[in-house]
Amino acid sequence: MLYKDDANLPGNYGLWDVQAALQWIQDNIAAFNGDPNHVTISGQSAGARITSHAVISSQTNTLFHNAIAISGSTVGPNGVTNQALRTAVLLANIFNCTYTTTQDIENCLRTKDPHDLDYWANVGISMYENRTNNLKPVIDGDFVVRPPRESWEMGEGIRPSNHSRKVISNL
């Protein structure tokens, strides 16, 4: 998402992919002799941040029962970004896109190789702007409803209906 009110790029695509995967697991785990009431998710580093977002998001936190987050969380500089538009514009410029709207940027960047986008999101940002990668979730009011620290402080992700839930993290 480039910014909260940008309908062209609603954002948080990776987190929505996680939601779709967790829903698929819930819908299909029994066919593999699994128990939909005993699903544990885990992640390390960036995966831990995704796991932490899944715990505090109402879009996903009913689709699993335990979470293990190792060496990463939603809290801190890597949890969310407020510079997604700046990053998208930089990438559009690196790839010589012609644009006047975010829809133009989206159309151009969708034609680029995903590996090239990932590479230049890392290298280009540090090379041209001396800052770290900003391909991070954004506060969209839907999947990420507020700054993650506030969600944790409010007790989101810990529901009375799952009082036995175990969340292991190194916040």
Return the structure tokens found at 154: 């409010």
* The pLDDT of residue 2 is above 50: no
Domain assignment of residue 6, yes or no: no
Q: For the chain, how many structural domains are there in total?
A: 2
Q: Give the pLDDT confidence score for residue 160 in this predicted structure.
A: 53
pLDDT band at 57 (very low <50, low <70, confident <90, very high): very high
One DSSP character per residue, 17-78 reads HHHHHHHHHHHHGGGGT--TTS-EEEEETHHHHHHHHHHH-TTTTTS-SEEEEES--SSSTT
Q: Give the pLDDT confidence score for residue 122 in this predicted structure.
A: 81
Q: What is the pLDDT of residues 110-128, one digit of tens each?
A: 999 999 988 888 887 777 7
Q: What is the pLDDT of residues 5-47, one digit of tens each?
A: 577 777 788 899 999 999 999 999 999 999 999 999 999 998 9
Domain assignment of residue 48, yes or no: yes
Q: What is the pLDDT of residues 83-117, one digit of tens each?
A: 788 888 889 999 999 999 999 999 999 999 999 98
Q: Give the pLDDT confidence score for residue 85 in this predicted structure.
A: 83
Residues 118 and 159 in one domain: no
Which domain covers residue 109, as residue numbers? 84-129
Domain assignment of residue 145, yes or no: yes
Domain assignment of residue 100, yes or no: yes
Give the strand order in the sheet containing 40-44.
40-44, 66-70, 166-168
Helix (H, G, I), strand (E, B), or coil: what is residue 143?
coil
Domain assignment of residue 108, yes or no: yes
Whole-prediction pTM value? Answer: 0.80
